[in-house]
């Protein structure tokens, strides 16, 4: 066996900047690294000194794809710090808004970022010629998610109407009712994607790891719940630090995490593994159709788990809209009573559990902030997957090795630019 070298500078079809380095000689692996090179953006330092009115608006800018997740986590952290309990109406609207992002993010990943690998094309653009229907469908689904978010929050990327305590402007009930048809149409589109997914040649690889996500007694958790670990059970969200245990590595501007094992996974597959029972019927059906069973240890199946979640999200949204329409919408006067305090907000971003931890002074100004990003929590897992996988494929051609490693990274649907910062809080 000769030397195999892989040096991918800035992996494509992922959000953010990361490199893959492999240097093997005669079967010996000299170097194998997943390198995160994203410029540190120092958001925690930026949040310091900000008013609670602007905190979520800034935190949203951590990520362009999961801005709703950051906004929601940020607002929930502030609400926890001030002791504010959002109304039922607010929770319904928030969950619906959240679903819009989940949908958009998963569609983007499955069809735009991951599918090209399985269809052996360079990107979604050539698919315009060969699979025009698929592209139109993807655009249609993205548009649906976008319009739903617009309806609820004014805009999908960096939402506007979300405020501490609720929404600055309520959606039009008529338009909510009208969008139901399109969500039902989406379910039909997902079936078509399932058909396509069945043709995907998913690599067979398994490495068991710890799976961490939120868990809620009443439903498949996205914005509410406690931390659930496949190894260690339930931990309250306020004690998240005992689970995440961040540390720095020299070759990464993002921090890494670990809990009971060397690394752990968050994201769609973690949620699927831990909360399978709570998926709505069509989602479960799809999982079965695609051969996804809980627990699954193959990271390449994250994409499949996302597709399963798409069904869940669509069904769940229809139910939410029905509830909102039945209750009607009422202008709520939510004066915010500011006080000193600390609160943690946790949500399941499309890529995994996300924490925002805020400390306020009595004027409602942030004195400390800490954010732990899902992809941070996956970086270590990616590294460990590399270490387990490479020996298995070292005899393949160099190009194939490179491609497979890229696919591992892409499978996690990483959101690297979000992950390039985190803060170890120093309690004095």
Partner 1 sequence: MKPKVAFFDFTSCEGCQLDVLNVEAELLDLLAAVDIVNFREVKTEREENYDIAFIEGSISRESEIPRLQKIRNQAKVVVALGACACIGGVNCLKNSLLMAEALRIVYQDDARYYDTMPARPIDAVVPVDYYVRGCPISTEEFLKVTKSLLLGKKPEIPNYPVCVECKMAGNVCVFERGMFCLGPVIRAGCNAICITSGRYCWGCRGLVDDPNVDSEKDILKKYGLTVDQVTERFKIFNAYQEVAK
Write out the residues near partner 1 by the rule CB under 8 A. 10, 12-16, 39-42, 44-46, 48-51, 54, 57-58, 61-65, 67, 108, 112-113, 116, 122-125, 128, 135-136, 139, 142-143, 146, 153-158, 160-161, 163, 167-169, 248, 250, 253, 417-418, 421-424, 426
DSSP-assigned letter for residue 328: -
Per DSSP, the three-state class of 205 is coil
DSSP string, 337-391: ----EEEEEEEEETTEEEEEEEEE-TTSBEEEEEEE-HHHHHHHHHHHHHHHHHH
Q: Cβ of residue 177: shortest distance to partner 1, in angstroms?
A: 20
DSSP-assigned letter for residue 15: B
Give the whole-angstrom CA distance, residue 127 versus residue 119.
Answer: 9
Q: Cβ of residue 154: shortest distance to partner 1, in angstroms?
A: 3
Give the whole-angstrom CA distance, residue 94 versus residue 153.
Answer: 9
Give the whole-angstrom CA distance, residue 394 versus residue 265.
Answer: 24
- 269 vs 371, which CB is nearer to partner 1? 371
- 139 vs 188, which CB is nearer to partner 1? 139
- 261 vs 424, which CB is nearer to partner 1? 424
Q: Cβ of residue 107: shortest distance to partner 1, in angstroms?
A: 11
Residue whose C-alpha is closest to residue 33's, from 66, 7, 67: 7
Residue whose C-alpha is closest to residue 410's, from 63, 151, 34, 69: 34
Q: Cβ of residue 313: shortest distance to partner 1, in angstroms?
A: 18
CB contact set of 247 (below 8 Å; sequence gap of 6+): 255, 256, 257, 258
Q: What are the distances in angstroms from CA 74 to CA 112, 233, 330, 333?
A: 28, 25, 24, 21
CB contact set of 366 (below 8 Å; sequence gap of 6+): 47, 48, 49, 50, 51, 52, 55, 358, 359, 360
Per DSSP, the three-state class of 42 is coil
- 54 vs 231, which CB is nearer to partner 1? 54
Q: Cβ of residue 157: shortest distance to partner 1, in angstroms?
A: 4
Q: Cβ of residue 9: shortest distance to partner 1, in angstroms?
A: 10
Distance in angstroms between the alpha carbons of the first and the last residue of the chain: 56
Q: Cβ of residue 28: shortest distance to partner 1, in angstroms?
A: 27
Q: Cβ of residue 306: shortest distance to partner 1, in angstroms?
A: 17
Strand partners for 25 = 28
Q: Cβ of residue 117: shortest distance to partner 1, in angstroms?
A: 9
- 87 vs 161, which CB is nearer to partner 1? 161
- 29 vs 365, which CB is nearer to partner 1? 365
CB contact set of 123 (below 8 Å; sequence gap of 6+): 13, 112, 116
Give the whole-angstrom CA distance, residue 313 versus residue 325.
Answer: 18
- 16 vs 225, which CB is nearer to partner 1? 16
- 58 vs 340, which CB is nearer to partner 1? 58
- 63 vs 292, which CB is nearer to partner 1? 63
């Amino acid at each position: 066996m000769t030397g195999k070298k892989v040096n991918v500078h800035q992996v494509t079809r992922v959000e953010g900047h990361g490199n893959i380095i492999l240097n093997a000689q005669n079967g010996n692996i000299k170097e194998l690294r997943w390198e995160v090179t994203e410029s540190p953006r120092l958001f925690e330092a930026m949040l310091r000194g900000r008013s609670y009115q602007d905190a979520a608006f800034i935190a949203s800018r951590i990520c362009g794809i999961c801005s709703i997740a950051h906004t929601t986590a940020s607002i929930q952290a502030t609400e926890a710090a001030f002791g504010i309990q959002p109304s039922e109406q607010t929770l319904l609207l928030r969950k619906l808004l959240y679903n819009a992002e989940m949908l958009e993010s998963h569609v983007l990943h499955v069809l735009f970022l991951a599918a090209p690998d399985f269809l052996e094309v360079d990107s979604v653009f050539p698919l315009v010629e060969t699979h025009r229907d698929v592209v139109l469908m993807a655009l249609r689904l993205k548009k649906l998610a976008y319009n739903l978010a617009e309806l609820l929050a004014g805009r999908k990327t960096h939402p506007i109407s979300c405020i501490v305590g609720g929404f600055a402007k309520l959606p039009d009930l008529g338009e909510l009712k009208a969008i139901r048809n399109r969500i039902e149409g989406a379910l039909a589109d997902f079936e078509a994607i399932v058909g396509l997914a069945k043709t995907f040649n998913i690599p067979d690889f398994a490495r068991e790891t710890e799976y961490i996500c939120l868990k809620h007694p009443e439903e498949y958790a996205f914005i509410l719940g406690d931390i659930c670990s496949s190894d260690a059970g339930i931990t309250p969200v306020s004690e998240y630090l005992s689970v995440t245990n961040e540390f720095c590595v020299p070759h990464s501007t993002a921090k890494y995490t670990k809990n009971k094992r060397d690394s752990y996974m968050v994201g769609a597959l973690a949620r699927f593994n831990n909360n399978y029972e709570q998926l709505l019927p069509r989602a479960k059906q799809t999982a079965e159709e695609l051969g996804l069973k809980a627990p699954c240890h193959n990271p390449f199946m994250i994409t499949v788990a996302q597709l399963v979640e798409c069904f869940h999200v669509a069904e769940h949204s229809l139910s939410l809209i029905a509830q909102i329409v039945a209750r009607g919408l009422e202008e709520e006067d939510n004066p915010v009573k500011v006080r000193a305090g600390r609160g943690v907000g946790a949500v399941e971003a499309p890529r995994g559990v996300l924490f925002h931890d805020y400390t306020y002074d009595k004027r409602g100004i942030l004195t400390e902030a800490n954010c732990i990003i899902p992809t941070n929590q996956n970086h270590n897992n990616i590294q460990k997957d590399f270490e387990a996988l490479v020996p298995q494929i070292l005899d393949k051609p160099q190009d194939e090795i490179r491609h497979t490693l890229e696919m591992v990274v892409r499978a996690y649907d990483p959101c690297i630019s979000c992950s390039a910062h985190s803060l170890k809080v120093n309690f004095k």
